A and B are shown apart, each in its own frame.
Chain A
Amino acid sequence: MDVKTKDLWVFMETKEDGTAKNVGIELLNPGRRLADKQGGKLVSVVIGYHTDAAVKEAGTHGADKVLVLDGKEYQRYTTDAYTNAVEYLLKKYAPTSMLIGATPNGRDMGPRLSSRLGTGLTADCTSLDIDDASGNIEWTRPAFGGNLMAVIMCPNNRPQLGTVRPGVFKKPSLCENKAEIIHEDFHVPAEQIRTRLLKTILEDSSDFVDLEGADIIVSGGRGVGGADGFKVIQELADALGATVGASRAAVDEGWITHSHQVGQTGKTVGPKLYIACGISGAIQHVAGMNSSDVVVAINKDADAPIFNVADYGLVGDLFEIVPALTAAIKKNKA
């Protein structure tokens, strides 16, 4: 595709109530920097149903322009409706590039678009820049479970597409809303949507494990020793208002359910504080938690690789340390 503008786009995913998901607003932060560097406008693409709140949020967080597609068929994400809609917009305006949040929906739609448009897509980026010599975006992403970082470019095809990991960038600060708002009229007929939602099974709120949204996670691994051992983990989590996580070893042993698993075959998390108890730190676990702001590791084995990623490392028996930590927190709360 030939580029028609120097503009940079940020895809803003919406929730069913029409408000914006955090990641779309976060992406306006690196988006502004990249758009300025390439001398174009920062454009936010809002697709959803009753999207006024999301459109406003894009403007108050610095978008120069907001492209809006509002329709009932966009209320709940479907691959076909969203791919067709974004394809329409990209072909009409032909921007240089588009950032997409690396949410489950973003990672469902991104590759579909790259394949349809015959252009490059870089997955799950954690850092973005522009190569001064060529003007191409440098997409930096983890591979091998975060043990290797790769810098990817898409030199000859446009638009340049990438999904960007949620929680990596901070939301830009609020500013005066000067955004130009453009309502587009494009609808996807029902027969073009080849999937249908038959049933949703919302997790019982008492069973629901919100690892991805948690500010603090206390995780247990093989060192916890059994299902009973998770009691001390749960107590610390309760004292901190934290969510309980687990390593694959603990899940495979059947001590805790898979919905608690952090790591390559579990959830990828990025809390403010991650406390790893009795977790050795296998690559597949670290892949899921190494974007946490602060990591505490508690382990008997001083050579455990988890200490390589820890900000605070405690060598010792978790059954002494964890209850003592819980007690200290409770004492100071009281």
Chain B
Amino acid sequence: MNILVCVKQVPDSNEIKIDPETNTLMRQGVPSIVNPFDGYALEAAARIKDKDADGTRIVVLSMGPQQAEVALRECLAIAADKAYLVTDRKFGGSDTLATSYILSKAIEKVEELEGRKFDAIFCGKQATDGDTAQVGPELAEHLGYPQVTYGLEVTAESDGLHVCREAEDGTEIIGVQTPCLVTFTKPSFDPRFPTIKRKLAARKQEIPHLTIEELTNIDQTHIGLKGSPTRVKRTFVPPRKKSGVVIKEETGEASAQKLYEMLCNAHVI
């Protein structure tokens, strides 16, 4: 089975802080990581490969600046066989629809370079910076593939993929024909770590760049800021709650009692 995993490099949200003076987001010096949900997608692909090492090839694809190569090398170190980076200044400013369009065209190109079609496209359910959860399904539509979202685990069967997914009232297993696209959320298990051997190998791997020069199949009116239907009008840091009351009595018990009274008076409980 040929699997393509789409990954995004994001700032580590555990490291982002708000500057208390200016009330703005402090992004400087924040380390970049592979979007955790994309890590779960890669793990799902790796588990298919565990069962069929010879018959499975995992390719990772990312769109972003040159620096995103770091994220791709991490994926190579974990489980991927090959990585491609989609990068061009002209892609900057793309919203989710333009991004998914570019990715769909890049996938066509990668399939040409690889000499084979992908049976499955795996994505994280959303990236932790934008939180939109839109690129996966939008990409599936551009490709004309069926989709399954909120995947937890997946197995390759004779009739396609069986995806165990999170549902509102439990979990469900969905059968889907290939080629298809699956987005993944956090499973109950931890993804694997890279091995030293794979890390060393990943460092030397060549990562082809796909720019607008290579992606001749792209309609340039559908990319970048100009090709994006949505516009960010403005951004702001939400005002902090000003009404917060601090309760600090002599003992914990007295604090608890005071909180209880305040919650009752406010009709919260």
Interface residues of A (CB under 8 A from B): 79-80, 83, 103-104, 107-112, 114-116, 118-124, 131, 138, 142-157, 194-203, 208, 216, 240, 257-258, 261, 264-266, 272-273, 282-284, 287, 293-294, 296, 307-317, 320-322, 324-325, 327-329, 332
Interface residues on B, range: 35 or more
CB distance from B12 to the nearest CB of A (A): 9
Partner of A120, one of B95, B135, B233: B95
**B134-175, CB under 8 A of A: which get 1 and which 0?**
111111111000111110000000000010001111111111
Cα(A103)–Cα(B169), bound, Å: 13
Partner of B237, one of A145, A148, A198: A148
Q: What A residues does B230 contact at CB under 8 A?
A: 120-122, 152-154
Q: What B residues does A208 contact at CB under 8 A?
A: 169-170
Contact B241 A198 (CB under 8 A): no
Q: What A residues does B243 contact at CB under 8 A?
A: 311
Stretch at the interface among B44-52, B60-68, B123-131: B123-131
Contact B229 A154 (CB under 8 A): yes
Partner of A311, one of B172, B232, B244: B244
Contact B97 A311 (CB under 8 A): no
Partner of A151, one of B141, B229, B235: B235
Partner of B252, one of A112, A122, A320: A320
CB distance from A18 to the nearest CB of B (A): 16
Task: Using A115-B141, A121-B134, A311-B243 as known contacts, say yes or no to A147 and B237 having CB atoms under 8 A apart.
Answer: yes
CB distance from A82 to the nearest CB of B (A): 12
Task: Using A153-B230, A283-B14, A312-B259 as known contacts, say yes or no to A201 and B176 having CB atoms under 8 A apart.
Answer: no
Contact A118 B229 (CB under 8 A): yes
Q: What A residues does B233 contact at CB under 8 A?
A: 131, 138, 151-153
- The 3 A-B pairs with the shortest beta carbon distances in the complex, nearest first, are A320-B252, A120-B229, A324-B256
Cα(A155)–Cα(B149), bound, Å: 29
Contact B241 A195 (CB under 8 A): no
Query: Could you name 22 residue pairs across A and B whose Cβ atoms are closer than 8 Å?
Result: A79-B137, A79-B149, A111-B100, A111-B141, A115-B140, A119-B229, A121-B230, A143-B130, A147-B18, A147-B238, A151-B233, A151-B234, A195-B176, A198-B174, A199-B173, A201-B173, A266-B186, A273-B269, A283-B14, A316-B255, A324-B255, A332-B264
